[in-house]
Chains A and B, each alone.
Chain A
């Protein structure tokens, strides 16, 4: 396939993946804060958790149907682009790949945590996930610099 088409589809997949990850990370933070607030206030009504629960289910569905396929597409198109361009020896690509592996692992954690939170006996997520939104944005910034500027 034409290089520009591959690149355009790769960028679209990455944008969809990153947006979905941010939505998941922010939802997890919001649901956790809500649960902690209600627990502290001694929650009385089951209906009070309906809004976070509906949001959680919507984000879970989006993650399964859109964000996860977008991640796979970003990987497949990215590797195809790198193979076509013969860039596997470039340091900038290795640095980018390391960040993409970390982002993928973080996405797996977020996805599993959404499932855990949706369960009736759902326990609280790992504290480190509070840093996820900042980590995602920082990683995307570094990746954009690596790909566009190619500093090394």
Chain B
């Protein structure tokens, strides 16, 4: 049985995870739909040279946060795999963010 403090902590963790998920998703969209076209259509390779490492760092942070969240317990293998796979797909992070929001809402409110 989770105490109100446990529930509040779990909600904070899910909120942080949602923020990182959105960050990862936004950097992927900027890379794929802005930086890559700028490089190939406008001849600005600097765009991918900047956005590539930025998205790389955001992805590392996302995977790290996911490991941390899942290690806290309560996640099935299927849910974990889905969270990893969606991070590779443009707009997938937004599906993840919604799934995390539902999980957060399902937790009983902290008293």
Contact = CB atoms under 8 A, between A and B. Distances in A.
Nearest to B69: A112
A81 to B, nearest CB: 13
B64 A108 contact: yes
B59 to A, nearest CB: 12
Interface in A93-152: 104-105, 107-113, 115-116, 118-123
A9 interface: no
A113 to B, nearest CB: 5
Interface string A36-80: 000000000000000000000000000000000001100110010
B73 interface: yes
Interface size band for B: 20 to 34
Contacts of A79: 53, 57
Contacts of A116: 71-73
A115 B65 contact: no
A72 B61 contact: yes
Interface of chain B: mostly helix, strand, loop or mixed: helix
B79 interface: no
Prevailing SS type, chain A contact patch: helix
A107 B60 CA distance: 13
A128 to B, nearest CB: 11
Contact of B60 (A104, A121, A122, A123): A104
A110 B72 CA distance: 9
A113 B53 contact: no
Interface residues of A, number: 23
Contacts of B64: 71, 104-105, 107-108
A60 to B, nearest CB: 9
Contact of B57 (A76, A109, A121): A76
Interface of B: 1-3, 6, 9, 13, 53, 57, 60-61, 63-73
Given A109-B68, A115-B71, A118-B9, 6 more contacts: A72-B61, A75-B57, A75-B60, A79-B57, A115-B9, A121-B6
30 contacts: A71-B64, A76-B57, A79-B53, A79-B57, A83-B53, A104-B60, A105-B67, A107-B64, A108-B64, A108-B66, A108-B67, A108-B71, A109-B67, A110-B71, A112-B67, A112-B69, A112-B72, A112-B73, A115-B9, A115-B13, A115-B68, A116-B71, A116-B73, A118-B6, A118-B9, A119-B2, A120-B2, A120-B3, A121-B1, A123-B73
Interface of A: 71-72, 75-76, 79, 83, 104-105, 107-113, 115-116, 118-123
